[in-house]
Structures are given as C-alpha cells and as structure tokens.
Amino acid sequence: MSPGERHAKVYQINYLRCIFCGLCVEACPTRALTMTNEYEIADDKREKLIWEKEDLLAPLRNGMLMPPHPMYPGSDHHNYYRGEIKESHPSQEVNK
C-alpha cells in the first residue's frame, strides 16, 4: 500500500439514489466494477435497496481476469464502459 492510498470502510451502493450514470465504473482504477443489464430494481422495503459488499460481489466467469489487471492493449476506459472488451489478452494475465 502506498502512502496516501485510501480505502473505503464501507462498500455499498444505495439504489434509492443511484442513477446508473456509470461514473463509479469509469473511476474505478482496478476495473473491479462493471455495469450489468439489471436496471429494473424494485422492492417493497427501502432497506433492501441499499446493497452491501456481499450483495455486490459476483463470481468471475470464464475469460474474466481477477482485478487489478492492466487494460486490454490499445483500449481505454471508454471501451470498458461500452462493454466492448469481451475477453482478456494474454499480456493481461498477470494474476491468473
């Protein structure tokens, strides 16, 4: 850990306030966050729309890399945001 590096004490997303803008995905330095196709989230209890870390974790699927990992060669964060990166490149597989 480098001096000055900060880590959140609490990991949660409040879906009562989230507008699905994707800025958190864009800002994540390790590409650990991603958008999904789930956007119709509703519940009868407000508390259930505040997702804790355990609710947000998803297993790695085949072809996914354990973050942090370098970006796909020749790509930038826009390619990740638009979901254009579909597979890993051999040069990224530093943590496999």
Q: Where along the sequence are the contacts to ligand SF4 (CB under 6 A)?
A: 13, 18-24
How far apart CA 14 and CA 6 sit, in angstroms, is: 21
* Nearer to ligand SF4 (CB atom), residue 41 or residue 94: 41
**CB of 50: closest distance to ligand SF4 in angstroms?**
11
23/50 with CB nearer ligand SF4: 23
Supply 77's token pair. Answer: 């964060």
Angle at 69 between CA 64 and CA 71, to 5 degrees: 90
Provide, rounded to whole angstroms, the least separation between the CB of residue 59 and ligand SF4.
21
**Residue 91, SS3 per DSSP:** helix
